[in-house]
Structure 1
Amino acid sequence: MLTYPLLANSLVKKTNARSTAARVIAEVVHKKHALNAVLANALVELPENERSLCQQLCYGVIRWHCQLEVISQQLLNKPLRAKDSDIAALLLCGLYQLRSMRIPAHAALSETVNACKILGKPWATGLINASLRNYQRQQQEIDASLLADDTAHYAHPHWLIERYKHDWPEQWQAILTANNQQPPMMLRVNQQHGTRDNYLARLGSENINATAIEHCPNGVLLATPCDVHALPGFSAGDVSVQDGAAQLVASILDLKANLQILDACAAPGGKTGHILEHYPDNHVVALDIAPSRLQSIEQNMDRLTLNAKLIAADAAETTSWWDGKLFDRILIDAPCSGIGVIRRNPDIKLLRRPDDIATLAIQQQRLLDNLWPLLKQGGLLVYTTCSALKQENEQQIAHFLAQHPEAQECEPPNAPATRRSVGYQRLPGDDNLDGFYYACIQHR
C-alpha cells in the first residue's frame, strides 16, 4: 500500500471524517499528491460510517479550493504557518459544510472545532470557531466580493480560465460551470452478455434507477452513484463503469472481425475491454508505460473473461516491443492534461501547471509520429484525449496531417461530438458527458 508522510502510522489512533479530510486535503494541496491515491489510503483507517462524509469533504473542498481559499484569507488576520496546513485545510472543510452541505450549521461548526483536538492542536479551536462564526455574519458581503474575481467565482486557477477564454470564447463560462458539477456514474453494458434493455430491467428489479444514454448504444446513466459491487453482474463482467464520452471511442474505430488492433496507452483497460466486447476473437495488443498499471488492465480482462496481449513499454519506443506485424487499427488514447475530466478529478485544478501542456503536446506528437508507420495501408488510427485544450487536440492533429501527406482524416458515420476544423470536440458537460476529443485518420 502507498504511504504518505502526513498519513503514515495509521493517521492517528483517534480520528474521524473531518480530521482525516483535513489531513488528506493538506497532502493534496501542499505535497501535490493525487487526491484519489491519498484518500484511498486514508479511508481504510476510518470507521465505515465516517467514510462517506470524509469523501464528500475531500472532493468538495478540492473542487472549490480556489474559492474557499479566497474566503479563508478574508477571515484570517494572517496566514497560518506551513506546519499548520492541516488546520488551514480544516477551516476550508468548515466553510464547505456551511456553504454547500445539508449539515445543520451548529453541528458543522461544533464538529469542525472539535476536530482541532483530534489533530492534536487544541490551540486552534478558538481560531476555527471565530473564523466560521465571522463567515456566518459576513456571508452576504463575502459572496458579493467573489463576483469580482473569476478565479474565486468559478473556482479555477487563473491560467486555466485564460486558456479556456482563448480556446472557447463563447463557451468558457459553461465549461467552468460544468467542471464544478458532481459527476454522474455511467455504465457500459457488455454486449456479449446481454442487451442494454435487459440490463436496465435487472437494475430496476434491484431498485436502482437508471436510464439509457442517448448517444451510446451500450451506455447506462445511474440516477445516483452506487458501489460497483451493488451492480447486478458486475463481478461477472456484465457491466463496467465508463463515461459515455469514452464509450464513443469504440464506435469510430470501425470494428469488425479478424483485426489486429493496438491500444497504445491502455490502462486502466476500459477501452481495451470495450473493443474486445465487440469482437472477442480480435487480436488486441494493449500497452502501458507503467508495469503497475498493467495490473488494472489484467483485472479488467479477467473480470470480462476477455484476452489481450499486455505489454509494459513506452509505446513510442517501438523497437522495444513491436514484432513487425502491422496493425489494422491503432488507438492512441494519449496522455493529456485531463482538462476535460475535472469534474471527476478536481485535483487537476491544483496539480496541473501551465507549462505541462507544451510538455504533453510533445509526448503526444512523439506517439503519433512513431506509431503511424505501424499502421497498414487502409488502416485507421484513432487519436483521443480527455482534454478540451486545442493545443492537445485539433492543433496537434492538424500539425500531424500537414507532416504526413499519406494520412487522411476520416469522418465516421456517427459523429461522436461537435465537428471542429480537424476532428471532433466534446466540451465538458455536453450531453452531460465528459470533455473528450476524437480524430480518425486513415493511411492512404
Structure 2
Amino acid sequence: MKPNKPTKRHDASHNPAAKRSNVPPARAAALEALERCLGLAAPERRQVRETDAQAALDATLSARPLDPRDAALATELFYGVLRSKTRVEYILSRFLDRPESLPPGVLLILCAASHEMLHLDRVPARASVNWGVDAVREAANDGLAGLANAVLRKVAALAEQPLPEGFFGPETPPEEHPDTLARKYACPDWLVELWLDEYGPETGLRYLQAQALPPALGIAVQHRHPRAAEIAASLAARPGLLGSSGLGLAFAAGTHLDDLPDETLVRQSFAGREALLALDPGSWPDPVWDACSGRGGKTRLLLELGKSVLASDIHRGRIRALQAEQPEVEAVAASALERPPFSTPPRTILLDAPCSGLGTLSRRPDIKWKRSEDDFDDLVELQAAMLENAWKRLPRGGLLAYLTCTLNPDENERQIAAFLAGHPDAELRTEWTTDPDAKWGEFFYAALLAK
C-alpha cells in the first residue's frame, strides 16, 4: 500500500532529510505498538515507556489513524507477535548465528514478519519478506537489510508446510521436557514448570495450548437497553456462538458484530462472567461493595442482576470511566485496604483481586514477558491483606466473594485455605475454577465465604 502523500510542510522538497516509509501502515503501527508494549522504543522516542498491551495499541492507533482493515491487521499482528514471540525467536535462531547480537528493534521486525508468514494464512510470503526487509533497512542499515532478506526467505520456505515433528525438541513425557514446551507454546520456562507441577501434565498442556490462541469474543448487551433480552436472544442464534448466559455471550475469535450500534454492546470476558455467576450473586445481601471495581465490568453484571452496588478502585481514571457509563452507582477512588468510604455499610464485599493474570494470557499475552516468579510473593501478601480488611468490615451474616484471573494456587486455593485456617468464623460456601476444556481461552478462580 502506498503511503499518504506528505503535506507541503513535510514535503521532501522543503526538507531534504525527510523520508517516506516503505513499510505498510498496518505493519508500521503494529511495530510501534510492540515497541511501546515491550519498552523497545527507538532512541529518538525513548520517552515511550513500557506499557500494557491494550494501552500500547490504543495509543498507537490513536496517533496513526488507519482504515478499518489496516487497523484490524495491525491488531491481529500485534497480539499475535506477543503470543508467539519466543516461539518465533527460536525458529529465527535456526538461521541466525547470534540473534542476541541484533538490535532489539531489528529482531522484533524479523519476529513480526516471520509470525505473519508462519501463522497468518491471508498474507503472501513475498509481501511479508518485502516489508520486513524495508523495515530493517529503515531501522538499521543496508547490511542488516541483506541479512533480513536472507533469513526471511528461509522462514518463508519453512512456512510452506507444517513444522516437522520434534522441531522444538522432544515433547514426551511433557513433565521431563518443559524447555521444549516453552519453545513450542512461547512461554517462559518458569511458567511451563509451574503449570506442569501444580496442575499435572494433561491439564498443564491444555493451559499452554489455550494461551497460545486468541480468546473468545466476550460481549454483553447493555442491561439498560429496552430490548436487551430480545437482542441477546437474537445474538445467541448467530453463527460462531460458543456460549451464552443471560445478557452475556461468547463468540469464536474473529467474529464480527458490526451491525449493532456501539451503545448496544459492551466487551465483557465471558470467563469472568461465568466466575462471578458461579457464586450466585443474585442471592447476595445488599449493598454489595465492589472493592476493586476497575472500570466496572463486574459492577455492570451485578446491576444486570438487580443488585445495589457501591464501587471503588484505587485508580481515579478507572472510577471516572465507571461513573461515566454507570452514573447510578456510588463510586469513589479508594483502596480495598481501608475502611469502605460509604455511608451505608456493605453486607457483601466483592474482591476481584489484583493478581498475576496468568489465566488471561490469550487476551493479555504481554504478561508472559513482564511477570516473573518474584512477583508472586508481593501479590499474595497484598491479596491476603485485602481479604483481612474486607473480613473486618463485614457484619455477621455477610458474604465475601474472592475472584482472580490467574492460574497459580498460591493466589487461589492456597490463599483461601490459609485465610480459612486463620478465621474459624469463616465458612467456605463455594469454590470454583474455569474448566480446563472451556472454549473461552481464559481461566478464573472464585470463592465465596460466609461470616
Does the TM-score normalized on the shorter chain lie above 0.5? yes
Match 2:215 to one of 153, 164, 183: 183
Distance 2:66 2:281 in 1: 48
Match 1:166 to one of 182, 188, 197: 197
Q: Quick check: 141-150 or 370-379, which moved more?
A: 141-150
Equivalenced residues, count: 406
Displacement of 1:253: 4.5
Q: Relative to 1, partners in 2 of residues 1:336 and 1:428: Cα closer, same or farther, differing over 3 Å?
A: farther
Contact 1:212/1:219, CA 8 A, preserved across alignment:
no
TM-score of the pair, normalised by structure 2: 0.82
Match of 2:250 in 1: 221
Match of 2:74 in 1: 54
Match of 2:5 in 1: none
| 1:270 aligns to 2:289 (yes or no) | no
Residue 94 of structure 2: SS of its match in structure 1? helix
1:28-427 superposed matches below 5 A: 28-31=37-40, 32-44=50-62, 45-48=64-67, 49-79=69-99, 81=101, 84-102=103-121, 103-119=123-139, 121-137=141-157, 144-148=166-170, 149-169=180-200, 170-193=202-225, 198-200=230-232, 202-203=234-235, 209=239, 211=241, 213-214=243-244, 216-223=245-252, 225=254, 230=258, 232-235=260-263, 238-248=264-274, 249-250=276-277, 252-255=279-282, 259-279=286-306, 282=308, 284-302=309-327, 307-318=328-339, 321-323=340-342, 325-411=344-430, 423-427=431-435
Match of 1:434 in 2: 442
Distance 1:195 1:438 in 2: 31
Distance 1:383 1:351 in 2: 24
Distance 2:294 2:225 in 1: 23
Displacement of 1:400: 0.5
Q: Quick check: 163-172 or 38-47, which moved more?
A: 38-47
Q: Relative to 1, partners in 2 of residues 1:167 and 1:213: Cα closer, same or farther, differing over 3 Å?
A: same
Distance 2:94 2:354 in 1: 38
Structure 2 letter corresponding to 1:151: A
Contact 1:253/1:329, CA 8 A, preserved across alignment:
no
Post-superposition CA distance 1:145-204 (Å, at most 9, x none): 313322111211000001101110030001100111111112223455467762146549
Q: Relative to 1, partners in 2 of residues 1:195 and 1:400: Cα closer, same or farther, differing over 3 Å?
A: farther
Match of 1:5 in 2: none
Post-superposition CA distance 1:421-443 (Å, at most 9, x none): xx211155524352000101001
Displacement of 1:219: 2.3
Question: What fraction of aligned residue pairs are identical, expressed as a percent?
Answer: 27
Q: Relative to 1, partners in 2 of residues 1:224 and 1:70: Cα closer, same or farther, differing over 3 Å?
A: closer
Structure 2 letter corresponding to 1:42: T
Q: Give ranges in structure 1 of 5+ residues lacking alignment.
A: 1-11, 412-422
Match of 2:28 in 1: 19
Residue 36 of structure 1: SS of its match in structure 2? helix
Displacement of 1:50: 2.6
Contact 1:388/1:428, CA 8 A, preserved across alignment:
no
Q: Relative to 1, partners in 2 of residues 1:358 and 1:188: Cα closer, same or farther, differing over 3 Å?
A: same
Contact 1:22/1:87, CA 8 A, preserved across alignment:
no
Residue 314 of structure 1: SS of its match in structure 2? coil
Distance 2:342 2:38 in 1: 44
Distance 1:46 1:81 in 2: 34
Residue 378 of structure 1: SS of its match in structure 2? coil
Distance 1:250 1:309 in 2: 22
Q: Relative to 1, partners in 2 of residues 1:135 and 1:101: Cα closer, same or farther, differing over 3 Å?
A: same
Displacement of 1:43: 1.8
Q: Give ranges in structure 2 of 5+ residues lacking alignment.
A: 1-18, 41-49, 171-179
Contact 2:355/2:379, CA 8 A, preserved across alignment:
yes
Q: Quick check: 67-76 or 134-143, which moved more?
A: 134-143
Structure 2 letter corresponding to 1:311: V
Distance 1:428 1:296 in 2: 33
Residue 75 of structure 1: SS of its match in structure 2? coil
Q: RMSD across aligned C-alpha pairs, in angstroms?
A: 2.8
Q: Relative to 1, partners in 2 of residues 1:227 and 1:308: Cα closer, same or farther, differing over 3 Å?
A: farther
Distance 1:209 1:137 in 2: 35
Contact 1:429/1:435, CA 8 A, preserved across alignment:
no
Displacement of 1:350: 0.5
